[in-house]
Amino acid sequence: MAETAKKPLDVAIPEAGKFGFQGDDVAIALHQYSPGSALEKTTLRKVDLYQIPMLWIMCVMAYVDRSNIGNANAAGMSDDIGLSDNNYSLLMSLFFVGYLIWEVPSNMILYRISPSWYLSCLMAVWCAICCAMSKVRNDRDMIVARFFSGMVEAGFFPGVLSNEIGKRFSLFYTAICFAGAASGLVAGAVITGLEGKNGMQGLRIYVFIVMYIAQNSATSITYFVPTVLKSMGYKGTAVQWMTIPIWAVGTAVLLVLPHTSDKYRERRWHIVGSLTVAWISAIIGLTVEGHDKLRYAFMCLYIGGLYPTAPLILSWASETLALPAEKRAVSIAVINSIGVCSAIYSSYFWPSADAPRYTMDFACVVSFIGISIITAALAPVIFRVLPKYTTRAGRELYAENELERERDARQI
């Protein structure tokens, strides 16, 4: 009896023949579906077992390619191809310009065709671009290659929507931290052994855009971690090895924090608390001078406090911008694409001329994290004074779901 009392899932019935199923069969299955049942949990575990490992590996490869640019620069790439500080920042910016251009169209395409074919094609094109980059001999060609690499990688980030969305988002974000550690590991090994050889739902979406773009602005240090470590006195391959503990801490926190967020069904204070740790760590980096070991320890806490908030913000947005499903997918793509565009300006942070204190750069990330903390803390208050559904389609779908719930309640 407890199973049948649960509410039906709020999903639109697919068109007949879509995904290989008949429309009537899907409608019957959805009508009989009971959220949280033992059958659902077993099915989700099987789906996770088959899909998440492969998608996780894809994300790792994408982010290794993305973050390795910082390791390559610390190892002398700029000198090899004649890349100035300004052109290096341009290189970083244009990657995210390409990302912005293709993020929303990619999500719309992914919603309409088979993800297995689409993501496979993206991987093939991305592989070809990476192979071409190995032949780059000047800064112009590198900048062009990174622009197209950004367009292709825009389609990699998967949207996994379910009742345990926080944990699934966090699993994919562990790929980012793992990729950061792997970049240092691979770069250290390469340098040691191979150097010198061959429609939006009202104003809610803007709240999440402000929150997410401020958080992403603070992650600008991702591409400069090896450079900042050099200013702390680490040299040669030690710079690469010392990036590993930083990302290991980020990965560990990513595995724990979203789990508790899902368990207690709470996003707001998990985000605020984690960002506060990053904010305090950034203040230590800004104000402490001459204590490099202390600054390094707080660098670990900075990454550990900052990175888990990205999947939590996207999870919170996905739960708040719930109807209809396609608009939710586009809204998440808009938030993500605008958020990552913060790299267009934040890539000009951390110039080598600011070493070793990086006063202006730490001050900037302190400000951005503060904005994200304030936005996250006030978001529920803002949402209470905003209409939940501002489009006719959203209101009609919500009304249909309410009628369905009432019919089920009367039957019980």
Mean pLDDT split into 10-residue runs, the chain, 412 residues:
44 48 57 68 76 74 72 72 79 81 79 77 83 79 85 65 55 62 54 47 79 89 82 82 88 87 89 95 88 89 91 86 67 81 80 81 92 94 72 58 64 60
On whether residue 51 sits in a domain, the answer given is: no
Could you tell me which residues come within 8 angstroms of residue 338 by beta carbon, excluding any fewer than 6 positions away? Answer: 100, 209, 212, 213
User: b/e string for 324-355 if b means 16 or more Cβ within 10 A?
Assistant: beebbbbbbbbbbbbbbbbbbebbbbbbeeee
Q: Which domain holds residue 150?
A: 67-411
In the prediction, which pLDDT does 64 show?
72
CA distance 147 to 240: 26
**Total count of domains within the chain:** 1
Output the pTM of the full model.
0.60
Tokens of 81: 């191809």
The enclosing H or E element of 34 equals none
In the prediction, which pLDDT does 6 show?
44
On whether residue 345 sits in a domain, the answer given is: yes
Q: What is the pLDDT of residues 33-49, one digit of tens each?
A: 666 677 777 877 777 77
On whether residue 283 sits in a domain, the answer given is: yes
On whether residue 36 sits in a domain, the answer given is: no
In the prediction, which pLDDT does 407 show?
66
On whether residue 385 sits in a domain, the answer given is: yes
Q: What is the pLDDT of residues 350-377, one digit of tens each?
A: 887 887 788 888 899 999 999 999 999 9
Omega prior to 356 cis, within 30 of 0? yes
CA distance 221 to 409: 52
The CATH number of the domain holding residue 80 is: 1.20.1250.20
In the prediction, which pLDDT does 391 show?
55
| CA count, 13 A, side-chain hemisphere, 405 | 10
Whether 316 and 267 have beta carbons less than 8 Å apart is answered as yes
On whether residue 77 sits in a domain, the answer given is: yes
In the prediction, which pLDDT does 365 show?
92
On whether residue 49 sits in a domain, the answer given is: no
On whether residue 136 sits in a domain, the answer given is: yes
Tokens of 97: 């310009």
